[in-house]
Amino acid sequence: MSKTVDQVSEKTHEAVDFASRLAGEAEERLRDAAEKAQHGSHDLMEAVTEYVKENPLTALGIAFVAGSLLSNFTRRR
């Protein structure tokens, strides 16, 4: 009986170690993805800011049209 308990205990520890390793790897992948997304959004914001500085009237027109469309979509529902 003691041998069976030891085997079950060993398998349980192996399973916990495996799950812990997988969780650590998943956490690392999520952190990497979040960092990439943060850098991507920062780059996009810089590009938009630069475009607005170079083309203020066009940017204003785009913002107006986008706001009008959004207003129409939300009003109809």
Range of the domain at 44: 2-76
Per-residue burial over 8-40, b if 16 or more Cβ lie within 10 Å, else e, is: eeeeeeeeeeeeeeeeeeeeeeeeeeeeeeeee
Rounded to 5 degrees, what angle do the CA atoms 71, 73, 77 make? 115
Tens-of-pLDDT digits for all 77 residues of the chain? 788 888 888 999 999 999 999 999 999 999 999 999 999 999 999 999 999 999 999 999 999 999 999 999 998 76
User: Does the predicted model carry a pTM greater than 0.85?
Assistant: no
Which pLDDT does position 27 carry in this prediction? Answer: 96
Distance CA 69, CA 44 (A): 22
Number of folded domains that form the chain: 1
